[in-house]
C-alpha cells in the first residue's frame, strides 16, 4: 500500500484537532477535523481499502485481509501519533463483531494503534451513520438512510437529528459477493438467489420501514456511491439512482458473465470484487421497500463518530450519561440510593483509583453507570436482583456504548453482590481481566457499605496494602455487628478475585 506522510496541518496545535477512525468491512476510513465556532470542520480524510470481510463466510478474517488491515493501521498511526487519547475515537463494525479471530486482530491492532478499539453494535452503527448524515445534510422531513457495507447493511429512519428506527442486517456487498458470486461468475440464477436471500432477511422489518412514509432516501456507503458513478458517469453533481437504472446495470453485468470483464475505468479496481454483491443488495432493498429512487451522500459513520467525539471532548456532552439517566428513569431506580453508592465509589477511588488505574473517564463512567443501574432488576424481582440487572443491561439497546462497555457495565451490575463467576470477567478486547475485576470490587464494596440505605456515609477512607483493602469506617455504623458480618461474608466472595477487606 502507498505510504502516506504527515501534512503541514499536523504541525499546528493538535489540541484543536479530533480524529475518528472507522474500521469497516470494506475500507478503513480516517477523518480529522476541528471545532470552529461550535461547528465541526473536516480537515482531512484518508481511506484504505482492506476488504477485511474477505473470508467472513467461513467465520474468520483471512490471512491476507488480516495483514492488509494491520498494514492500513500502521499508516493511520502515523497520522495520529501526536493526538492525545481523548481526541481520538476508533470504532469497528460488522467484521470485528462477527469474525472468530477478531480478538487476535484487535490485540495485534493495539500494538500499532495506541487507542481503544470499540466494537459497536449494528444498531449503534446505524445511529452514528444517521447522526453523521443529519449534521452534514440537514432535512426537516422524515428520511431513510441506507448504508451498504462489506459485511452488513444499516437502516436508519428519523426526522431532523433524531433517529426513530435503527436496524442492522448481516448482508453486505463483500459477503453477498463471496456467497452468491463465487469466482466472479455472474448468472441470472445467482442474481435471483442473492436478491431473494436479502429480501428474506429484510422481510420481517419491511412493514415497519415502509410505514415510516419517508420523504427522502439517502445512501451513504462507498458501494452506493460507486454504483451511482457507474450509472451516471458524466453527471456533474446529481447522482440520483433509480430502480430502473439498477435493473439496467444488472442486465449489463449479466451480459458480461464475470466480474473480470468489468471495465476498471468505470469501477475502481479494488471495488470490482464486491460490486456485484452490492448491486444485488441495493436492488433487493429497493424492491422490498418500494423505493423508486435514492441519492448518495458523502457523510457516513466516521462523520457521526467525529461529531459525537466533539460533543464529548469539546462540549463535555456524553450521550452515555444520558443513556444511563434514561434507563434509571425507565426502571424507576431509587435515585437516592444510587447517589449514596456513587459517593462511596468516589471515596474508594480517592484511595485506590491511582494504584488500580481506575481514574480514566471511561472507567469512571462505567462505575457511575453501575452505581445508578445496579438495581434495574428490582422491577422484575428483588430476589436474584443482580441476575435480572445483568440480563437487562446485557440485552438493552444503550446508545453511545461500545459492545465491550455495555458488557462490562452488565457484569458490574450482575456481580454487585453474591457469588462471582471468574470466567465471565475475560474475553474483552477493550478492557483487561484485572481492570474488570477491580471495578467489580469497587462496586461491590460501595453497595455493601450502603446496604442500610442511610444518609450517613460510613466510609471515611480506604487504603491498599498488597491485595487487602484497609477500610476506615466512621459514624454509628462503624461498630455495627451486622456490617462486620457482611464484610466477613464478602471476603469469601472476593477471595476468588484475590482481594480481601479489613477494617481498622
Query: Where do the domains of the chain lie?
Result: 8-118, 138-298, 318-503
Query: 498 near 465, Cβ under 8 Å?
Result: no
Q: Please give the pLDDT value at position 400.
A: 93
Query: Element (H or E) spanning 282, and its range?
Result: helix 272-288
CATH number of the structural domain 8-118: 3.30.420.40
Chain center to CA of 307: 14
CATH number of the structural domain 318-503: 1.10.3210.10
Q: Write out 422-463 in H/E/C secondary structure.
A: HHHHCCCCCCCHHHHHHHHHHHHHHHHCCCCCCCCCCEEEEE
Alpha helices by DSSP H, listed for 54-121, are 63-80, 94-98, 102-112
Residue with cell 456532552: 317
Number of neighbours of residue 114 by Cβ within 10 angstroms: 12
Tell me how far CA of residue 425 lies from CA of 395, 404, 410, 433, 439, in angstroms: 17, 11, 11, 6, 11
Angle at 46 between CA 43 and CA 47, to 5 degrees: 150
The residues, any chain, with a CB within 8 Å of residue 383's CB and separated by 6 or more, are none
Burial profile 466-476: b = 16 or more Cβ within 10 angstroms, e = fewer: eeebbbebeee
What is the reported pTM? 0.86
Burial profile 312-344: b = 16 or more Cβ within 10 angstroms, e = fewer: bbeeeebbbeebbeebbeebebeeebbebbbbb
| Rounded distance between C-alpha atoms, residue 202 and residue 226, angstroms | 23
The cell for 160 is 431532523
Spans of the chain below 50 pLDDT: 1-14
Chain center to CA of 226: 26
Class of domain 138-298: alpha beta
The two beta strands, 17-23 and 88-92, are parallel
pLDDT digits (tens, 9 = 90+) for 377-427: 998 988 999 999 999 999 999 999 999 999 999 999 999 999 999 998 877
Nearest to 204 by CA among 130, 288, 127, 78: 288
Q: Please give the pLDDT value at position 15.
A: 53
| Rounded distance between C-alpha atoms, residue 370 and residue 148, angstroms | 35
Burial profile 250-269: b = 16 or more Cβ within 10 angstroms, e = fewer: beebeeeeebeebeeeebee
Domains 8-118 and 138-298 share a fold: yes
Q: Please give the pLDDT value at position 53.
A: 86
Q: Please give the pLDDT value at position 261.
A: 95
Q: Please give the pLDDT value at position 346.
A: 96
Query: Element (H or E) spanning 491, and its range?
Result: helix 481-494
pLDDT digits (tens, 9 = 90+) for 254-312: 999 999 999 999 999 989 999 999 999 999 999 999 999 999 998 899 999 999 999 88
Amino acid at each position: 500500500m502507498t505510504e502516506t506522510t504527515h501534512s503541514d496541518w499536523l504541525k499546528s496545535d493538535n489540541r484543536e484537532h479530533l480524529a475518528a477512525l472507522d474500521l469497516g468491512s470494506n475500507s478503513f476510513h480516517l477523518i480529522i477535523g476541528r471545532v470552529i465556532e461550535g461547528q465541526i470542520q473536516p480537515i482531512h480524510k484518508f481511506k484504505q481499502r482492506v476488504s477485511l470481510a474477505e473470508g467472513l463466510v467461513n467465520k474468520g478474517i483471512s490471512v491476507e485481509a488480516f495483514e492488509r488491515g494491520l498494514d492500513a493501521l500502521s499508516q493511520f498511526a502515523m497520522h495520529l501519533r501526536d493526538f492525545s487519547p481523548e481526541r481520538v475515537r476508533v470504532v469497528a463494525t460488522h467484521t470485528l463483531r462477527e469474525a472468530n479471530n477478531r480478538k487476535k486482530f484487535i490485540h495485534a491492532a493495539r500494538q500499532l494503534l495506541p487507542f481503544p478499539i470499540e466494537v459497536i453494535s449494528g444498531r449503534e452503527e446505524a445511529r452514528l451513520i444517521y447522526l453523521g448524515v443529519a449534521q452534514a445534510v440537514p432535512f426537516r422531513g422524515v428520511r431513510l438512510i441506507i448504508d451498504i457495507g462489506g459485511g452488513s447493511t444499516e437502516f436508519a429512519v428519523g426526522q431532523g437529528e433524531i433517529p426513530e428506527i435503527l436496524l442492522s442486517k448481516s448482508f453486505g456487498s463483500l459477503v453477498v459477493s463471496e456467497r452468491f458470486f463465487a469466482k466472479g461468475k455472474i448468472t441470472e440464477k445467482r442474481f435471483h438467489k442473492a436478491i431473494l436471500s436479502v429480501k428474506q432477511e429484510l422481510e420481517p422489518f419491511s412493514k415497519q420501514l415502509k410505514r415510516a412514509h419517508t420523504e427522502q432516501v439517502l445512501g451513504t456507503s462507498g458501494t452506493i456511491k460507486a454504483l451511482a458513478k457507474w450509472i451516471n458517469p458524466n453527471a456533474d453533481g446529481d447522482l440520483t439512482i433509480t430502480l430502473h437504472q439498477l435493473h439496467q446495470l444488472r442486465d449489463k453485468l449479466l451480459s458480461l458473465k464475470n466480474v473480470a470483464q468489468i471495465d476498471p475505468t468505470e469501477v475502481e479496481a479494488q471495488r470490482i470484487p464486491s460490486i456485484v454483491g452490492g448491486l444485488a443488495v441495493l436492488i433487493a432493498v429497493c424492491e422490498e421497500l418500494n423505493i423508486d429512487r435514492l441519492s448518495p451522500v458523502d457523510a457516513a459513520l466516521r462523520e457521526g463518530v467525529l461529531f459525537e467525539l466533539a460533543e464529548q471532548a469539546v462540549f463535555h456532552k456524553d450521550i452515555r450519561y444520558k443513556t444511563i439517566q434514561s434507563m434509571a428513569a425507565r426502571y424507576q431506580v431509587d435515585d437516592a440510593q444510587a447517589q449514596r453508592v456513587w459517593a462511596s465509589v468516589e471515596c474508594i477511588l480517592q484511595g485506590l483509583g491511582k494504584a488500580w488505574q481506575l481514574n480514566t473517564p471511561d472507567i469512571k463512567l462505567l462505575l457511575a453507570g453501575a452505581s445508578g443501574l445496579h438495581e434495574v432488576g428490582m422491577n422484575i424481582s428483588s430476589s436474584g436482583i443482580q441476575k435480572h440487572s445483568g440480563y437487562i443491561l446485557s440485552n438493552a439497546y444503550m446508545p453511545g456504548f461500545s459492545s465491550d462497555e455495555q458488557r462490562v457495565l452488565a457484569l458490574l451490575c450482575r456481580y454487585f453482590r453474591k457469588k462471582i463467576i471468574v470466567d465471565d470477567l475475560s474475553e474483552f478486547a477493550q478492557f483487561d481481566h484485572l481492570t474488570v475485576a477491580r471495578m467489580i470490587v469497587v462496586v461491590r464494596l460501595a453497595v455493601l457499605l450502603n446496604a442500610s440505605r442511610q444518609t450517613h456515609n460510613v466510609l471515611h477512607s480506604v487504603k491498599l496494602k498488597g491485595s487487602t483493602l484497609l477500610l476506615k469506617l466512621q459514624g454509628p455504623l462503624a461498630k455495627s455487628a451486622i456490617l462486620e458480618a457482611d464484610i466477613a461474608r464478602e471476603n469469601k466472595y472476593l477471595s476468588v478475585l484475590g482481594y480481601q477487606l479489613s477494617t481498622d
